[in-house]
Amino acid sequence: MEFVFTDEQNMIRDTAESFLQEVSTSAAIRDVMVTDRGYDPALWQTVCSDLYWQAIHTPEDYGGMGLGYVELVAMQEQMGRYLFCSPYYASVCMAINAVLVAGTAEQKQRLLPQFCAGKTATLAFAGEAAAGYGGRWDVATVDATFEAKGDGYLLNGHYEFVIDGASADYLILAARDAATKGAASQGHHGISLFVADANSPGIKRELLPTMDQTRKWARISVTDVVVPNSALLGAQSQSGDALAMVLDLATVALAAEQMGGAQQLLDMTVAYTKERNQFGRAIAGFQAIKHKAADMMLRVEVARSGVYYAACVAEEALQAIQAGTAVDLVALQEAASVAKAYCSDAFFKNAGEAIQIHGGVGFTWEYDVHLYFKRAKASEQYLGTGAWHRERLAALLLDGEGVL
């Protein structure tokens, strides 16, 4: 396991930083966050056609760049840093991962080139029951159902908080076997993943108004939706572990985004303290401000270590999938929980410190700090709070069970 970025990885991160600093400006973010789609389609096509970022960790055999999860995480860090509004996270870190983990070779050959060409997709898994789990976002929250029907399947159910669900071209839908729901179909058992055209008859998509305007969420209802056999990813009722792995991979990518946001809050705040004068001097010279800035920097550095380690573990897991060997799911769960628990706290605490140091004006509309604060709160909750991940980590380390 390599803990130092290679020259190529540094170049990818620096290129992403340079591009996003130019295009994801405060004005650009504010322009798109008030739209239903939540991103600029022309800019997304530039990302897909000119930069090919959405294909970064897709194997070359399926039209991708063939790089790894470390490179993906390095890019996610910069997207979080500049609050880049795009369907990248949903399409690449969730949907493409689902196909890579659960799909057959034929399905990968059919679907991945479309995603690499710019088609958008997302993963829908958490049902109405998720609200009753108190912040739990794992496989247990799947409550939509499927049943075999002729040459295909019939899907029914609801999905909550689907990222970019209202604008995606394709949906990866998780569902439980209706024949065994309530009996054998519990936890990881009885779950299948299906790929569906988002505009299929019976699919209703509703945009959800949420605190974080820089990321769009949706509620999706599926009523008697018929999909063909070819829509089933992997084996019927056997995708519980695959879904769990996809969620852990998405958790690592989200932690990277949080870490990038925490870094940007530190940079923005330090720059502000050098400009803001009080009692005849810049407030950056006050000891109390220096202490707060040092605490913010320490959080970012620890978060970075956790994220990069988790990215290496995620890369090994994906390599095992490609090689057809056993995946160390427990190691991936541990690394994902360490990264998400720490990054959730670091991002939100840095956002709070940034608002305090800005003297309250940080939460006004004119300052971007409030956008980061809202993203920090929303990301803290999604895919498990810090408390939930610490509890899961304790179960993994102390009980050795890996499942709460």
Q: Which of 233, 264, 281 corresponds to the end of one domain?
A: 233
Buried-exposed string 230-259: b where 16+ CB fall within 10 A, e elsewhere: ebbbbeebebbbbbbbbbbbbbbbbbbbbb
Whether residue 2 is contained in a domain is answered as: no
C-beta separation of 204 from 172 below 8 A: no
Whether residue 50 is contained in a domain is answered as: yes
State whether 243 and 392 are in the same domain.
yes
State whether 260 and 380 are in the same domain.
yes
CATH number of the domain at 185, please. 2.40.110.10
Q: Mind listing the pLDDT tens digit of every residue in the chain (404 residues)?
A: 566 889 999 999 999 999 999 999 999 999 999 999 999 999 999 999 999 999 999 999 999 999 999 999 999 999 999 999 999 999 999 999 999 999 999 999 999 999 999 999 999 999 877 766 666 688 888 989 999 988 999 999 999 999 999 999 999 999 999 887 654 446 677 899 999 999 999 999 999 999 999 999 999 999 999 999 999 998 999 999 999 999 999 999 999 999 999 999 999 999 999 999 989 999 999 999 999 999 999 999 999 999 999 999 999 999 999 999 999 999 999 999 999 999 999 999 999 999 999 987 877 888 899 999 999 999 999 999 999 999 999 999 887 654 43
Whether residue 1 is contained in a domain is answered as: no
State whether 249 and 390 are in the same domain.
yes
Residues near 260 by beta carbon (within 8 Å), at least 6 away in sequence? 76, 77, 78, 79, 80, 81, 82
State whether 366 and 220 are in the same domain.
no
Q: Is the pTM of this model over 0.85?
A: yes
Q: Which of 205, 233, 261 corresponds to the end of one domain?
A: 233
**Domain that residue 18 falls in:** 7-119
Cα separation, 267 vs 214, whole angstroms:
20
CATH number of the domain at 33, please. 1.10.540.10
Smallest CA-to-CA distance from 120 within 23, 197, 203, 202 is with: 197
State whether 212 and 77 are in the same domain.
no
Residues near 196 by beta carbon (within 8 Å), at least 6 away in sequence? 155, 170, 171, 173, 203, 225, 227, 231
Our count of domains for the chain comes to: 3
Q: Which of 215, 233, 251 corresponds to the end of one domain?
A: 233
Whether residue 152 is contained in a domain is answered as: yes
State whether 292 and 224 are in the same domain.
no
State whether 302 and 245 are in the same domain.
yes
